[in-house]
Every structure is written in C-alpha cells, then in structure tokens.
Structure 1
Amino acid sequence: MNIAVSQRSQSGRDHRVDFWRGIALVMIFINHIPGNLYENFTSRNFGFSDAAELFVFLAGFASAFAYGRLFFGGHRLVATLKAWRRAGVLVLVQFMLVTVAVGIYCWGALALGRGEILTRIGFQQFISAPIETMVGIATMTHQFGYVNILPMYAVLLFMLPVLLALARISLNVMLAVSATVWLLAYVFAIDLPNYPLPGGWFFNPISWQLVFAIGLYCGFRRMERGFAVACRPWLVGLAAAYCIVAFLTVRLDLWSWWGSLPFPVLLTGFDKTYVSLPRLLHVLAAIYLFANAAPTSVFSRIGRDNPFAMLGRHSLPIFAAGTVMSLFGQVVKYGQTPHLLADTLMICGGIAIMFVFARYLEWWASAQKAALGPVAGRAIDPTRANRPAGAEAAGGSRRAGAALGEPARARG
C-alpha cells in the first residue's frame, strides 16, 4: 500500500471527527452520573450502542492520521514509540483517576456519614482485600466502574503496531485478522484478568480492537481516496432501517425478540464486554448516516470553532476532567431521586466547566506558539552566557540596545 504518500491523501483536519468525539465526551459525562434526568436523552436510549463505541471508532480513525502515515512512510519505530508513548500517558492518567476516585468516594462516605457508598463501583474488594486489590490496581487488572475505559484504550495503542503491520500487507487482511480475533475472544472467552476477582475486564480489549480496527480502516481509506465508504442510496437506506429497528427495540422493549433468535449471543445479543454484533452494526450504521449527511446539513459544515470540536481536540484532559466531575456527581446523587433543578445545575455546570477548560487549553496552545515562535527564530550566541558581567557594557550601549531592548519593545 502507498497510503502515506498518496497524492489524494487528505491533509486537512476533518473537524467532524473532533465534533463527534466532543459529543461522545459529553454523553460519557452524563451517563457516568446514574440517576440524573438527562441520561435518558443520550445515544444509548435510542439504539444498541453508546458513546463508548463511537469514541473507540474515532480513536482508530484518528490513529490512521496520527501514526499510520509515519508507519507507512518508513518511520515504523518512530510511529511505534509515539503510539506507545501515548499509551503510557493514558496509563498515568488512569492511575491518577483511580486515586481520585478512591479519595472522592472516601470523602463522600465521611461527609455523608454513609459507609455503604463504598460498596459501589467495585470498592467492595478494595475494602475486604486491600493488599491483593492494590496489586490489581497497580497492574490495571482490577478496575473500578466508570474508570475503566482508558486501560482498554491503552492496550489498543500497544497493539496498534501489529494492526499497522497487517495494514501494510492489506487493509482487508487487517480487518479479517481483527474480526477473527474478535470471534475467537467470544468463543473461547479470552479476556485480560480482573485480579484478584474472577472474570475479565469489562471493556475487553481483545474484542474492542475490532471497533478500533474498523476506525483505522476507514481512516486509511479516507486518506487514500477522500472517503471511507462510498455513499450508496441502498446502503444509506439499509443503515437507516437498522437504526430504526434499534430505536424501536429500545423504546418498545423488544429485547426478548432478539433473544428468541436461534443464533449465538455474539450475533443477536447486546453484550458490551465482547461487543456483540448488534452493537457493532449499530454504531457503524449511525456513523455512516452522519458521515454522508447532505452538504447543506449542519453535520457536514463543522468548523474548527465549533464548541464540541474544541472539546474533541483535547479529548484526554477533557475526559479526565469529566470523569472527576462525574465521580463527584455520583457521590452527590447517592440515594437521591431525579430532580429537574438539581440535575440541570449539575449537568449544565459540568458541561460548562468542560467547555471553559477546553477554551483554556486552546488559548494555552496558541500562547505557547506565539511565545516560542520569536524565540525559536532568533539566533543564539553560545558564547554569550560565558562572558563576564562587564563584557556586554564594554561592547557599547548601542549594540546592547539593538540586541535586547528594541526587539523586546517590539514584542511588547
């Protein structure tokens, strides 16, 4: 394949990717505060998949641009180390979030005077067997609820060089191998251990790698020919029909009908750990519909300044901030019923903080470029630092003013 150097490669950033990633981040924040009114309006209430599948697909799509071009351009080691470095950052953020989660829940138990709050999101094992559980936390095998998606993402980035190596052979080969691994993971119950508890990870990376690989495939196709999957009227109609079936299943509670079909759970169930086929097809159908929205649609005219695109450009710090706020929200909402005013203040306040934080990150990135640009462009005299204190004055005030004073005033 010659994707990395293809003349048709798309060099501009597709802000729709950032937009939908920002939408996914907001929905994850809302869904991670159980019992609030607004969780009834997120995507999981209208189909089989939720924000997690969308987020992982987009991560794969973006990885084609972030690492694939380097890998295919002959810089395989650099691309590999770059992906693994990002995975390492995710691991560090995961450890931080787990520590914060413990602190928030312990604070909640003390502040509310209700120790039973520590029985939620997997804290029972931490209380009953702290030594073994700390080993599991340090190795990321024991994961608390709502703080368990980053380990899966990190494993996918560690696996990325293998997917890229397969993609160099053929994108179809990569997808075939990925789908085979996904199938074998379900058939033989292959998962990473959840030490010290039995079972495996809730987000099984051996299965979720297929969602990531499909996103990677679409990203490469986008670079190669300008679109991931061609827009076909019959395919649009099929995707729309499937989304309607999924919507009716959820809203009319028709789950039992799917369970009555004489097929394995992987093909007719809705298991999230192993990414059952109905969930996978739903997120792909929804993405296909929005990716082929009419040119006049607002979804086809997403610009850089879109607020949700701004969230998506800074997905990791925004996700971390949203997770911390959602953990506080879980403690505050503990034992309470949905309440319009309280839930509105909590959800809208949290989303507002996410937007403010993203805007700060945008400003900080611009400020760094503005500050470092003139510095990087100036020639630096390596002997200047070793000159005696009076040497500068001996050179004459005119030279000192030209070298230091005037550029400084111009920049000010």
Structure 2
Amino acid sequence: MNAVNNNQRRTEVDLIRGIALLFIVVDHVNGSVLADYTIRNFTLFDAAEVFVFLAGYSAGAAYLAMEARVGASAARRRLRRRGWEIYKAFVLTGLLMLLFGFLLAMCRIPAPAVRATEAPVFMAQPLETLLEVVSLARQPFVSDVLPMYAVFIGLAPLAIRWSRAQPLAFVCGSVALWLMAPALLPLLPSSEARGWSFNPFAWQLMFGLGLIARLRPDFVLPQQPIVRWAFTISAVAVALAGVALAYLWMRPHVYEAWLPAWVPSMVFPLPKQSLAFLRVVSFLGLAWLVYLAIRAGWVEKLAGLMGPVVQIGRHSLFCFVFGAVVSVTIEGFTYGIAGGRPTRPVALGGDLVAVAMLLVIGGWWGRRKEARKNADRPVMTKGKSPAA
C-alpha cells in the first residue's frame, strides 16, 4: 500500500476488515441466503484469509505508530498485551458458544450450530470441556481463528524485527514453515484427531505477508512500470480463473461427467486448515487488484459512504465476539421458526437482522470508545498547555 504517516490509520483497511467480518457472520449461519454471495463464492479463498492478512498488516502499522510515539520497547509490550487480550476474547467466545449451544439444545431447536458449538460434549463432560477450551485444545464454533491470531500477535515483535532487517530471509522462512505445516500440526494440543481448524504453522504465511506489506512495502511492491503491468495482467488472470474454479468447486456435477477423475482431485478440495497453495495464489491476485483500487482512491471514497462498516473493522475484536453470538442466535432463531432448515424468505430475514445488529453494535461501540478517549484527554485552557 502507499506509504503513510506512522500515526495515520487507514480507513480503507478498516472498511475491508469490516466487510470481511460481515462475511464471516453470515457464512457461519446455516441456511443463510447472503452467504451465497460472499467472497468465498467467487474466489478460491474466503474471509478468513482477508482477516488474517489484515491482522498482520495492522500489527505492523500499530507497531510503527507506537514506536514513533513512545519507542520500540513500549510497542513490543503493547503487542504482547494485545495477544493476551485476544486469548481472553477466545475464551469468552468459546464459553459463549457453549452457552448458546446449550440453550439451543435445551429448547430442542434442530440447528446444526448445536453440534458445532460443541454443546453436546459440554453437557456430557462440562469441567473437562472448559479446561480444554482454556488450554486451546478445544475451539468451539467460530472462535477457532482466535487462538492462532493470539499466537501471531504475541510473537509479532520477533517477526517484526526479523522482517525489517532481513525481508527476503523472513519470507523464505515463512514459506518453509508453511510447507512443513502438515507435519507440525500434531504438536499442537487438540481434543480432536484432525487438530486445530486453522493450522498456525501454515497460516503464519498469510499473517507474515500482511506484516511485511506494511513494514517493508519497498521490498513487496515492484517499482518498474513494466513489472507493475505484468503483475496487474497476472492478477486479472488469476482472479478470473478463481471465479471459474470457484463455480466448478461448488458444482461438481458440471465437470464430473466429462473430466477425468484425477484432474479435479489435483485441484479440489482446497484444504483450509493447511492454507492450500491455490488459496494463497487466489488471494494474492485479488489483493493486488484491491491495492490498485486503494491507490486510485476508490476504496477511500467507498469508506466515506460506509461509515458503520468502517466502525466494525476498526473495532474488529469486539465485533468478532459479538458476531459469533449473532451467528448462533440467528441460526437458532430461523431454524426454530421453520422447525428445521428455514425457507429462503425466513433465512434472508435472519440475514438482514444479523447484519443490522452488527452495524448497530459496531457504531455504538465506536462512539463509546471515542467518548472514553475524549474524556481521557487533558482539558486545554486558554493560553495554557496541558502541562501548565
């Protein structure tokens, strides 16, 4: 992205992250109508890649801003505290998922979210389940992205030092760890045989790419016009190929009749847990096109028209936790009304309520934070400085 002042916050980043969080909410509602139109339907990746990449970018931006104001040591401490905050948010989200799943089960609502929240396990072994959540061994519905996010932020000071000093070595090391990720997955504590839903040894690549995009844009972005044109042409080709492959991915009946079985087996499925190669390529292609749109000022203009969505992205951790509760609640509500999988009108109504709730709570939380920040500022009197 363009070089910006270290103390300047990019509304474009908040907008994109806000949109990603809205996608995450509706994508986790079974039967959702709007989920048929989120990014996962038109690319080979989904909102999780956007969320993790922007987490890395924002971590780099926060570090630079803190370093400029109060020094590198304070910036490193702030990132470690942020990692602890994210861990606490995971525990809270996990407990809320168990609670809401339990309530749905008690109400005998036949929603798939009941099992996804791991409420049946909790009801059978409550104490053991709680201990597994606290130890990261069990990661209920939606909350599963937060443990690796906490680890990444906690280790960000080390990654920042390495990426700033040796960007090429940092990228090569990140790629090497990504390649070894499937073999390293069993090292993580997990109550499930398949391990964590998001393998952090793989997903650190997405976080690292976001980090270095903010810290060393001179290393990431090509300078020669001909190279930039080549990047753009390649990105358009990748984006179009992603649309075609995403269409086929969700409609196997289209290609099964005329393609040899070994062809789709080489492309599909695209494992999310280990961050499949085509997911990364598809994301990078679209990311370059979005970067060009940001340079042209289009995304900033859009952000001016979508203030509530910007607020969701600006307060992403709070909105993520709230959004997880909204996903389970709306699914329970629509399945409860329909007595099973909801009809499209009922599901669409639920979607609209979910989106409205997130927009309202994001705006309210943003105003609350701003009011608190203003209250904490020293009062200026005429002719005197705050220190007078």
| Shorter-chain TM-score tier | 0.7 to 0.9
CA distances 1:39-79 after superposition (whole Å, capped 9, x unpaired): 11111111110000001001111111112455699944322
**TM-superposed deviation, 1:348:** 1.4
Partner of residue 34 from structure 2, selected from 31, 38, 41: 38
TM-score by length of 1: 0.79
Greater shift, 340-349 or 85-94, is seen at 340-349
Provide the TM-score with structure 2 as the length reference.
Answer: 0.83
- The question of whether the paired residues in 2 share the 8 Å contact of 1:191 and 1:205 is answered with no
Cα distance, 1:102–1:161 mapped onto 2, change above 3 Å? same
Distance 2:150 2:261 in 1: 33
The residue identity in structure 2 corresponding to 1:100 is: L
2:179 aligned with 1:183 = yes
**Contact 2:86 2:146 (8 Å CA) reproduced:** yes
Match runs of 1:12-411 below 5 Å: 12-68=8-64, 70=66, 75-112=71-108, 118-187=114-183, 189=185, 192-195=188-191, 197-222=192-217, 228=221, 232-253=228-249, 260=262, 270-293=270-293, 298-303=298-303, 306-307=306-307, 308-334=309-335, 336-373=340-377, 375=379
**Contact 1:71–1:79, Cα closer than 8 Å, also in 2:** yes
In structure 2, give the amino acid aligned to 1:328: T
* Counterpart secondary structure, 1:292: helix
SS of the residue aligned with 2:107?
helix
Worse-matched range after superposition: 69-78 or 102-111: 69-78
Cα separation, 2, equivalents of 1:104 and 1:73: 42
Shift of residue 250, structure 1, vs aligned partner? 1.9
Letter in 2 for 1:66: A
User: Could you say if the C-alpha distance between residues 71 and 188 of structure 1 is closer, same or farther in structure 2, counting changes exceeding 3 Å?
Assistant: same
Q: How far 1:84 moved relative to its partner?
A: 1.5
Decide whether the 8 Å contact of 2:31 with 2:342 is kept in 1.
yes
- Say if 1:312 and 1:349 are closer, same or farther in 2 by CA, change over 3 A: same
Q: Which has the larger displacement, 95-104 or 14-23?
A: 95-104
C-alpha distance in 1 between matches for 2:55 and 2:111: 38
Q: Conserved in 2, the CA contact under 8 Å of 1:121 and 1:144?
A: yes
Unaligned runs of 5+ in 1: 1-6, 380-412
In 1, Cα distance between the equivalents of 2:372 and 2:246? 48
How many angstroms does 1:11 deviate by? Answer: 4.7
CA change 1:233–1:168 in 2 (3 A) is closer
Corresponding pairs, count: 368
Deviates more, 1:88-97 or 1:179-188: 179-188
Give the RMSD, CA atoms, in angstroms: 3.2
- Which protein has the larger Cα radius of gyration, Structure 1 or Structure 2? 1
C-alpha displacement at 1:127, in angstroms?
3.9
After superposition, the Cα gap between the structure-2 partners of 1:33 and 1:123, relative to the gap in structure 1 and judged at 3 Å, is: same
Q: What letter corresponds to residue 178 of structure 2 in structure 1?
A: W
Counterpart for residue 406 of structure 1? none
For residues 314 and 210 of structure 1, do their structure 2 counterparts lie closer, same or farther at Cα, with a shift above 3 Å needed?
A: same
Q: In structure 2, what residue type is equivalent to 1:272?
A: K
CA displacement 1:125-180 (0-9 Å, x = unmatched): 33444443332112111111222111121111122122112113211111111111
**Structure 1, 141-150 or 50-59: larger mean CA deviation:** 141-150
